[in-house]
Chains A and B, each alone.
Chain A
């Protein structure tokens, strides 16, 4: 299927949009998707990512040899099911295929460690999230690049506090 925007390349991204009063499927190639603001990650509510994601997974799958018979104990998906469909079946899949999914998460987000909130009732042995000094340094770099010096100063203090505390 050709991209609806340029009518030249093969469409890689398929998503639902509301056009003139009805839900319509839109097909875009990766170049047009990027220039229209879809970038490497697709959006707030319900925007398709599956082709790009299965591309990413598909590539890493090819480099892994053999045994793909491991199946998720909750939903029964194998890793090749996920790679082909571009869809993770359940929360347990992330645990079962953690190592195989991690490179994809890094490609999408640039990082692989959660820094955000923890559910209030999360009962397992919860440690305070490890704040990664390198992540803070990265954020500091971004803040300086966009000349947000207030945030930069705040980040610098946090980094100093962490480094000071570690000594």
Chain B
């Protein structure tokens, strides 16, 4: 495996961890996947696979979901390369994915094509540009279901129109610690956006990681939706920075950060929830210059230490104790 999309740093990286743009498309000639026979699903897969193979710039690997093991599939979902829905049933579904995992295309999820482009840090313009290029190239080969009144037609009417969901993953330990998350969730809803836990929900979001995305897709252009998301993301990032200043005034926060670091360096068993909680503190310490560690390394650990992904790394299913032990060992090695 080569370099992955998340091993990069960039603008706003103290708060904004990653950016993704999803586009949803359907083939005009076929009903949506839920109405298709297995045979027709396989036909759809092969049509899209052929179209994708002609995109010279992208070298896609084609994976039939049925051929993958349970933990391989769940690991893809843990790394946000496929949806939980896609992982829950595998027949007739396939995935096109680039080596660096920056572009992944789910075939026959709720729609024929759901693809995403992922970038590290705050890169909405770049991610949209890439997604748009892939979309244009595919549309040379495929007839997309489109209506000039209501745009791209999708099985899920909440994404009709542009068929685009753009999102950023935000690290909000400051705002979470000041109990500001519920207020923020309801504020962004009024602005046509959604904020929710990237791993786990609401106030229980693991690792203080939250995904902010546009919820309106009809009656707004892609550009306007991206600009709106950008501007709110920057405002939340600014609020988060002030919240961090606030909580770091107390030496209790600094103490927590170093205790978290100490636990990670010496623990013999760590479950995912504890890892995410401690990593969040260590990441805060790293961006504030208290701990000398590269944030890309932390992001890598948050992704690679998830339950199914850690099993995948040794290519066999592990029980809970086995995972917790291996996770603790890997973290110790990485923190050296």
Which residues on A are within 8 Å of B, measured CB to CB? 5, 15-18, 20-23, 25, 34-49, 53, 74-75, 77, 87-91, 94-95, 98, 101, 104-105, 108-122, 124, 126-127, 129, 132, 135, 139, 142-143, 145-146, 148, 151
Q: Across the interface, do B77 and A146 meet the contact criterion of CB distance under 8 Å? A: no
- Contacting residues of chain B (76-135) with chain A, CB-CB under 8 angstroms: 77-78, 82-88, 106, 109-110, 114, 116, 132, 135
Residue B15, interface by CB 8 Å: no
Nearest B residue to A138 by beta-carbon distance?
B219
Q: Across the interface, do B162 and A46 meet the contact criterion of CB distance under 8 Å? A: no
Q: Across the interface, do A44 and B202 meet the contact criterion of CB distance under 8 Å? A: no
Contacts of A132 in B (CB 8 A): 219
A83 CB to closest chain B CB, in angstroms? 12
B324 CB to closest chain A CB, in angstroms? 11
24 examples of A-B residue contacts, CB within 8 angstroms? A18-B84, A20-B307, A23-B87, A34-B189, A44-B167, A44-B211, A45-B83, A53-B157, A88-B157, A89-B31, A91-B26, A98-B150, A111-B216, A115-B219, A115-B220, A115-B224, A116-B220, A117-B221, A118-B148, A121-B143, A126-B148, A135-B220, A146-B191, A151-B231
Please tell me the number of chain B residues within 8 Å of chain A, measured between CB atoms. 87
Contacts of B34 in A (CB 8 A): 87, 89
Interface centre among A40, A95, A98, A119 (most CB of B within 10 A): A119
Q: How far is the CA of A61 from the CA of B217 in the complex (A)?
A: 24
Q: Across the interface, do B153 and A91 meet the contact criterion of CB distance under 8 Å? A: yes
Contacts of B313 in A (CB 8 A): none
Q: Mark B23-35, 1 if CB is under 8 A from A, else 0.
A: 0001010111011
Q: Across the interface, do B219 and A111 meet the contact criterion of CB distance under 8 Å? A: yes
Q: Across the interface, do A39 and B215 meet the contact criterion of CB distance under 8 Å? A: yes
Residue B136, interface by CB 8 Å: yes
Interface centre among B213, B218, B222, B323 (most CB of A within 10 A): B218
Chain B interface mostly: mixed
Residue B160, interface by CB 8 Å: yes
Known A18-B87, A109-B216; contact A122-B222, beta-carbon cutoff 8 A: no
B115 CB to closest chain A CB, in angstroms? 10
Known A37-B195, A95-B147, A146-B235; contact A116-B311, beta-carbon cutoff 8 A: no
Known A101-B157, A110-B219; contact A22-B213, beta-carbon cutoff 8 A: no
A58 CB to closest chain B CB, in angstroms? 14
Contacts of B62 in A (CB 8 A): none
Q: Across the interface, do B218 and A75 meet the contact criterion of CB distance under 8 Å? A: no
Contacts of B135 in A (CB 8 A): 117
- Select which of A17, A21, A114 is within 8 A of B151 by beta carbon: A114
Q: Across the interface, do A114 and B150 meet the contact criterion of CB distance under 8 Å? A: yes
Q: How far is the CA of A37 from the CA of B212 in the complex (A)?
A: 10
Q: Across the interface, do B109 and A89 meet the contact criterion of CB distance under 8 Å? A: no
Residue B155, interface by CB 8 Å: yes
Contacts of A15 in B (CB 8 A): 84-85
